[in-house]
Structure 1
Amino acid sequence: MPWSHRQNVFVQVSVTVLAGAGSGFVGTLAHRMGASANIPYGLVLAFVILGLSAWCARARLGVSGLALHLIASSIVAWGLAIGGAAGDVLVPVGFTSAMPFFSRHAGYIWLYGLIAVQVVLLVLPRAWFVIPPRIDESPDTPADD
């Protein structure tokens, strides 16, 4: 089992919340890469990071772990989308001028997609999130001749 799966519940919850917040932060920073050229590789990368982190959260703590991950990642991503006191935002939305599709809609796709990805992981079968125990395949000891 992975390290975080062998720890007590407090450590598992802490790892899950930190991973959710981290994936929301990194995804928010990455989601606009390539959007101006209409090649959203940053959006794809953000969803891959978020999906892997959410998969681990569900494998670690089940549905409640996925819920904690969803809450943490949403708070961070939506919090960064609101912006600061100076009016700076990391997730620009609401363009009216002519620009490439992904440049205009990447923010909406990221903010609503991070919720959708985790809801999809919620309805998948539990068996897809089981990490089987490692089987020791050490060779038999040689016979003494």
Structure 2
Amino acid sequence: MPQLGDVKTGKELGYRNHWSQFLWCACRDCGREAWVVLIKGSPKNDRCSKCAGKAKRGKLNPMWKRERWVGKDGYVWVRLYPEDFYGSMASKSNSVLEHRLVMAKHLGRPLHTWEMVHHKGIRHIGIENRSDNLSDNLKLTMKGSHSRE
């Protein structure tokens, strides 16, 4: 097992890049040890790939687009990550409908898939404004009873 600070060539390690030098070092976040390529005497990365991905998540990523947007159907979507308390409600694309998130925060727990959130339309009579996501305009219903209202 290599020791922290050991330096070897790619050829010694069996890498295709025979002449580059590699340093055995630990990730600064999680402590996982790995061989890292040296560039001008310094390690190219100081984090493992998993921690590097987390460090550049959201607004820290230069390709960041948005954390809140309106879909074609008028509903507001919010970016939510799996490690968030309400992360279990997120879709595969790490997003959740804002009115579901508002109701979940109001209740203090994540919503189940069979629970629906209905926009009452109390501010604009006859109009169910899909972006009016204040808790007093939302009502929690069950999937079967939502269509009967």
* TM-score of the aligned structures, taking structure 1 as reference length: 0.21
Whose strand proportion is higher, 1 or 2? Answer: 2
Q: Which has the higher contact order (CA 8 A, sep 6+)?
A: 1
Which of the two has higher C-alpha Rg?
Answer: 2
> If the length of structure 2 is used for normalisation, what is the TM-score?
0.21
Higher helix share: 1
